[in-house]
A and B are shown apart, each in its own frame.
With several copies, the nearest count.
Chain A
Amino acid sequence: MEFVFTEEQQMIGETAKGFFVENATSKRTRSAMASDGIDRDLWTGFCQELGLAGVTVPEIYGGAGLGQVEFALLAEAAGAQVAALPMVGLAMASQAILAGGTDAQKAAWLPKLVSGSVIAVCAGSADVTAQGDSLTGTFEFVPHGASAEVFVLGNDAGAWIVERSAPGVEVTAHVTMDQTRPLATVTLRNAHGDKLADGAAAMRAAREAGWICVAAEALGGAQEALDRTVAYAKERVQFGRAIGSFQAYKHRLADMMIEIEQARSAVYWAACAADEQSSDLPLALHAAKSFAADTYAKCAGDMIQLHGGIGFTWEHDAHLFFKRARAIQSMLGNGNWHREQVASMILGEAA
Chain B
Amino acid sequence: MKLGFSAAEEEFRRECADWLNGQMAGEFKDIKGITTLTEKAERRKEWEQQLATHKWSCIGWPEEWGGRNATLAQQVIFAEEYARAGVPGRVNHIGVELAGPTLLAFGTDAQKKRFLPGIAAGQTIFCQGFSEPGAGSDLASVRTKARLEGDEWVVNGQKIWTSLAHISDWIFVVSRSEEGSKGPKGLTFLMMEIDQPGIEIRPIKQINGDAEFNETFFADAKCPADSLIGAVGEGWKIAMGLLAFERGVSTLGQQMGFRNELDDIIAAAKATGAANDPLIRQRIAKAEIGLQLMRYGAMRMLSNTDHSKIDGAALTYKIQWASWRRGLGELAMDIIGQAGEVAEGDAYEWSMLPNLFLYSRSDTIYGGTNQIQRNLIAERGLGMPREPRGDV
Contact = CB atoms under 8 A, between A and B. Distances in A.
B110 interface: no
B391 A240 contact: yes
A291 B278 CA distance: 18
B362 A312 contact: yes
Contacts of B348: 175, 179
Contact of A261 (B305, B313, B340, B341): B313
Interface stretch (A129-137, A194-202, A270-278): A270-278
B282 A336 contact: yes
B312 A261 contact: yes
Nearest to A330: B338
B312 A257 contact: yes
Contacts of B364: 305
Q: Give the interface SS of chain B, mostly helix, strand, loop or mixed.
A: helix
A253 interface: yes
Interface residues of B, number: 99
Contacts of B296: 3, 265-266, 268-269
Contacts of B366: 309
Contacts of A244: 384-385
Interface in A262-297: 262, 264-266, 268-269, 272-273, 276, 278, 280, 283-284, 286-287, 290-291
A1 B305 CA distance: 14
A179 B207 CA distance: 12
A312 B303 CA distance: 35
Interface string B307-320: 00000110110011
Interface residues of A, number: 88
Given A253-B378, A286-B289, 18 more contacts: A3-B300, A176-B343, A177-B341, A177-B350, A239-B390, A240-B390, A245-B385, A254-B373, A257-B312, A257-B381, A261-B316, A265-B300, A266-B296, A272-B2, A313-B206, A313-B207, A314-B209, A334-B334
A283 B184 CA distance: 45
Contact of A1 (B297, B303, B377): B303
A255 interface: yes
B302 to A, nearest CB: 8
B3 A183 contact: no
Given A3-B1, A346-B288, A239 B387 contact: yes
A4 B1 contact: yes
A247 to B, nearest CB: 6
Interface stretch (A51-59, A146-154, A229-237): A229-237
Contact of B286 (A178, A260, A339): A339
A343 B319 contact: no
25 contacts: A2-B1, A3-B2, A3-B303, A4-B1, A141-B339, A175-B342, A177-B341, A178-B341, A239-B138, A241-B388, A242-B392, A253-B378, A255-B374, A257-B382, A258-B320, A265-B297, A265-B299, A301-B361, A305-B361, A326-B341, A339-B285, A346-B266, A347-B269, A347-B270, A350-B276
Interface in B54-73: 72-73
Contacts of A248: 371, 374
Interface string B270-281: 100101101101
Contacts of B306: 4
A262 B324 CA distance: 12
A323 B286 CA distance: 24
A264 B303 CA distance: 14
Nearest to A260: B312
Contacts of A323: 207
Contacts of A351: 273, 276
B150 interface: no
Interface string B187-201: 000000000000000
A319 interface: yes
A216 interface: no
A327 B275 CA distance: 22
B34 interface: no
Contact of A247 (B286, B365, B387, B392): B387
Contacts, number: 280
Given A233-B384, A245-B385, A346-B285, A257 B377 contact: yes
A156 interface: no
B284 interface: yes
A237 B266 contact: no
Interface in B333-376: 333-334, 337-343, 345-348, 350, 354, 357-358, 361-362, 364-366, 369-371, 373-375
B51 interface: no
A238 interface: yes
B175 interface: no
Interface in B114-171: 131, 134-138, 141, 160-161
Q: Which 8 A-B pairs have the closest CB atoms?
A: A241-B390, A240-B390, A250-B378, A319-B207, A343-B281, A314-B205, A339-B285, A254-B377
Contacts of A9: 1
B281 A257 contact: no
B207 A314 contact: yes
B338 A331 contact: yes
A176 B341 CA distance: 6
